[in-house]
């Protein structure tokens, strides 16, 4: 059995973590949470360019842990909340540059499907979120969409209400898993 890796990306407050949890539950498998949330809750929401490199490395550690958990459960799929594309966008959007490590990891890492979450859910305030205005969120979404268009891994745009998002995601994942059969 080869493990399929599905990455959920998009701007903040687009339902990425919720979707990961729902898909992991549906497929009875593991998921890899977003490391940035843990890091910023522990060390504070003020961050530097160097902190983003630490967060990127923490994200990869979370992905490794999720990979082993999915393999332990003998499940065919792992859901990953955030990857190095998210780190690239974050670095470039806030600091105008990106760590070489992150760019190298984008080239090295292999995924099977991306689910790009749209900004059509209402923004939900929490202590870590930075961009409540829809214009900024849509600008970020356009950056993510451009990244998806210009890379080779299949991707699906996920939108609508929570139920519609889950249905769209399951359909995309089922198609991926069926192609393995």
Phi, psi of 78 (to 5 degrees): -125, 135
Q: For 23-174, list the strands marked E by DSSP.
A: 31-32, 77-81, 113-117, 155-158
User: What's 161's domain CATH number?
Assistant: 3.40.50.300
| Model pTM score | 0.94
* Tens-place pLDDT, residues 16-34: 999 999 999 999 999 999 9
State how far Cα 172 lies from the chain centre: 16
* Tens-place pLDDT, residues 146-162: 999 999 999 999 999 99
Identify the domain containing residue 95 by its residue range. 4-180
Give the number of domains in the chain: 1
Question: In this structure, how many other beta carbons lie within 10 angstroms of the beta carbon of residue 73?
Answer: 14
């Amino acid at each position: 059995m080869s493990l399929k890796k599905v990455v959920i990306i998009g701007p903040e407050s687009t339902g990425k973590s919720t979707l990961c949890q729902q898909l992991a539950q549906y497929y009875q498998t593991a998921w890899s949470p977003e490391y940035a949330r843990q890091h910023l809750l522990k060390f504070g929401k003020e961050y530097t360019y160097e902190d983003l490199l630490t967060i990127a490395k923490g994200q990869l550690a979370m992905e490794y842990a999720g990979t082993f958990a999915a393999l332990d459960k003998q499940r065919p799929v792992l859901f990953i909340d955030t990857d190095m594309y998210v780190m690239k966008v974050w670095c470039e959007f806030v600091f105008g540059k990106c760590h070489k490590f992150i760019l190298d990891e984008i080239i090295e890492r292999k995924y099977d499907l991306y689910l790009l979450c749209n900004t059509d859910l209402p923004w939900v305030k929490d202590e870590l979120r930075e961009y409540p205005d829809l214009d900024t969120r849509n600008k970020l979404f356009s950056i993510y969409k451009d990244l998806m268009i210009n890379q080779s891994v299949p991707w699906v745009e996920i939108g609508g209400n929570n139920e519609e998002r889950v249905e769209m995601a399951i359909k995309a994942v089922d198609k991926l898993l069926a192609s393995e059969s």
